[in-house]
Amino acid sequence: MRNLHIQIERWPVDRLIPSDANPRTHTPEQVALLAASIQAFGFVTPILVGPEGGIIAGEGRLQAAQALGMREVPVLVLADLSEVERHALAIADNQLALNAGWDEELVRIQLAALNDEGFDGNLIGFDDEELARLLAAQDAAQGLTDENAVPEVPETPVSTAGDLW
């Protein structure tokens, strides 16, 4: 395992240099979600930079900070990485997270608890449709069903015409 010298600092946003080779894109909607998250939770994930200020990872967070009018942001200075390692980390930082999955049952339980507390589910990053699907699945898992829901008819019926019960 490699031990890097890592230091978190606060830098002015105009000191940061976005990468012209960043393959990650950020829509205005996603930047708005990041900005809402920063407002709700604080700037809890520093931007990864090289010692000269080049952004390795976190350009979306920088755009969100700029949209919020922030003058300084936390950065994690990675001075011990080579240029090749910085480019590799820029991709790995995004791709490794995409390779993860969800334990949907645990997500449902946690979302339902947050919903019960009145927490704004839009701050979590799920779109409205996905949030509704997960919460509906949680309600169904708890035995709550829509009063108009009709169960599916089994392929092999339990009773037939003429049976007395």
Secondary structure percentages of the chain, helix, strand, coil, to 5: 45, 15, 40
What letter represents residue 19's amino acid? Answer: S
In our burial notation (b when 16+ CB lie closer than 10 A, e otherwise), range 127-148 reads eeeebeebbebbeeeeeeeeee
Phi first, then psi: what are they for 21, rounded to 5°? -110, 15
What letter represents residue 113's amino acid? Answer: A
Site of tokens 């755009």: 63
> Which active-site residues does the annotation give?
59
Q: How far apart are CA 48 and CA 57, in angstroms?
A: 5
* First vs last C-alpha separation in the chain: 70
Site of tokens 């997270």: 97
